[in-house]
A = this chain, B = another copy of it.
Amino acid sequence: MSRGFQLAERFSGVTTSPVRDILAVVNRGDVISFAGGIPDGSLFALDDFRAAFDHVLSTQGRRALQYASTQGEPELLEQVAARMARQLPTTPDQVQVTSGSQEGIFLVGQALLDPGDVVLVEQPTYLAAVQAFSLAGARLVAVASDDHGMLPDALNAAIAAHRPRFVYLIPTFQNPTGRSMPAARRREVADVLLRTGVPLLEDDPYGELRFEGEAAAPLAALPGMGAQTVLLNSASKVMAPGVRIGWLRAEGPILRAVEVAKQAVGLQSAVTDQLAVARYLATCDLDAHIARVVDVYRERRDAMASGLASRLPAGAEVTRPEGGMFLWARLGGGADTAVTLPAAVDAGVAYVPGWPFFAAEPDRSTMRLSYVTNAPDVIERGLDRLAGALGW
């Protein structure tokens, strides 16, 4: 009787996120997880958020429970615009609230992509963005990248060859590699984009989680790039993911298209959470909170980096990010981290195999390791299990 449910073609190239399937497994039992990009909940500003929700529901409860505008609550638009304006001039009317930056990625895909259109992505890139673009029918083309991110010459050649609708980049503390694009490379990449007129979708959820080194401004802040870039940002990594609040900055008609897509997807983001995040931003010191989180994450990055350095087999490589949530290891040789994952989980440790992050020619010896969820001693124990299971 269910013969009627034929899935759309767009699902032929889309599978569920392997990250999330693994998360489902590791929530069972005593597994030390380096898999998910899960902030340490013990660091949440819980009292501040409880106070913010309480204030909102006590003083403007009927508004918080009611329908609202699709763009977002004015208080939140103002807070977000003021924060973004530290990096580039931003007014509230240039902001659209989204349900996490994942929805931002999806909405931009809906606004700009026709079936068969090409999106240029880093190699490797964030796999849930791949999912979102695939649902819009896009074809993803990976552009050669080095430790500083996408290569400008390769980008130039790919634009000429594929005429992409846009380029998708995570320039700072990239997911999955943790690498960042230095200021000079940003200028080179922006030059290519400005010369060719190809828009940029710049995803920046991790930028404020900097442990060391000098911050480079978003590409959107470079001369001329503001009008050609959609800049995505989120409460998830620096405040709390459970409220599902993100936002994007753009200029011109694309804002209207994103808003129409947002209407169709779900009318508006949860008003309760929008007002609570706005209240938190208006009354709490997010910078001080981030500084506390960064101190803890830095220590964990150190624990995982040094723990890996002493355990990884000869010939393996690992990144040492200056911030964010992830390390990226390349084992090399004939290793296949998807094949070895079950043994690792049996041994009580989880990671994410690297292959799903590649839009093309996956390096199957790679893996993504998150260091933010666990304390240094747990990281040590997890790495012991990992080394044992993988025969390092």
Is A310 an interface residue, CB under 8 A from the partner? no
Contact A103 B8 (CB under 8 A): no
Q: Is the CB of A66 within 8 A of B254?
A: no
Contact of A199 among B5, B44, B50, B193 (CB under 8 A): B5
When the two chains form their complex, are residues A197 and B110 in contact, meaning their CB atoms are under 8 A apart? no
User: Please, which residue of chain B has its CB at the minimum distance from the CB of A14?
Assistant: B260
Q: Mark A1-30, 1 if CB is under 8 A from B, else 0.
A: 111111111110011110010001000000
The complex places the Cα of A12 from the Cα of B319 at a distance, in Å, of 45
Are A128 and B267 neighbours in the complex by a CB distance under 8 Å? yes
Contact B266 A99, beta carbon cutoff 8 Å: yes
Partner-contacting stretch, out of A240-248, A284-292, A357-365: A240-248
A125 smallest CB distance to B (angstroms): 15
Give A76-128 interface residues, CB cut-off 8 Å to B.
98-100, 102-103, 106, 110-115, 117, 128
Within 8 A of B (CB), among A256-271: 256-257, 259-261, 263-271
Contact with A241, one of B20, B67, B114 (Cβ below 8 angstroms): B67
Instruction: Point out the residues of chain B lying under 8 angstroms from A283, CB to CB.
Output: none
CB-based contact A135/B57 at 8 Å: no
Q: How far is the CB of A263 from chain B (nearest CB, A)?
A: 6
Contact A2 to B251, CB < 8 A, known contacts A264-B14, A264-B128:
yes
Q: In the complex, what residues of B have CB within 8 A of residue A49's CB? A: 57, 61, 65
Tell me, rounded to whole Å, the shortest Cβ–Cβ distance linking A70 to chain B.
Answer: 7
A389 within 8 A of B: no
Q: A265: which B residues are within 8 A, CB to CB?
A: 99, 102-103, 106, 132, 265
Given A61-B50, A69-B24, A10 and B241 contact (CB-CB distance below 8 Å): no
Task: Looking at the assembled complex, report how far the CB atom of A89 sits from the nearest CB atom of chain B, in whole angstroms.
Answer: 15
User: Is A147 an interface position by the 8 A CB rule?
Assistant: no
| Chain B residues, CB < 8 A from A374 | none
Q: Does A217 contact B (CB under 8 A)?
A: no
Q: Is the CB of B6 within 8 A of A112?
A: yes
Q: Are A242 and B68 in contact (CB under 8 A)?
A: yes
Task: Tell me which residues across on chain B come within 8 A of A135, comparing CB atoms.
Answer: 110, 261, 264
Given contacts A11-B111, A111-B8, contact A100 B242 (CB under 8 A): no
Q: Is the CB of A9 within 8 A of B114?
A: yes
Give Cα A109–Cα B317 distance, bound, in whole angstroms: 44
A263 with B131: CB separation less than 8 A? yes
Q: Can you give 17 A-B contacts (C-beta < 8 A)?
A: A4-B197, A5-B253, A7-B111, A7-B257, A8-B111, A8-B112, A16-B260, A17-B263, A20-B263, A41-B66, A46-B62, A53-B53, A66-B241, A66-B242, A100-B266, A135-B264, A265-B265
- A residues near B (Cβ < 8 Å) are 1-11, 14-17, 20, 24, 36, 38-39, 41-42, 44, 46, 49-50, 53-54, 57-58, 61-70, 98-100, 102-103, 106, 110-115, 117, 128, 131-132, 134-137, 165-166, 193-194, 197-199, 224, 227-228, 236, 240-244, 251-254, 256-257, 259-261, 263-273, 276
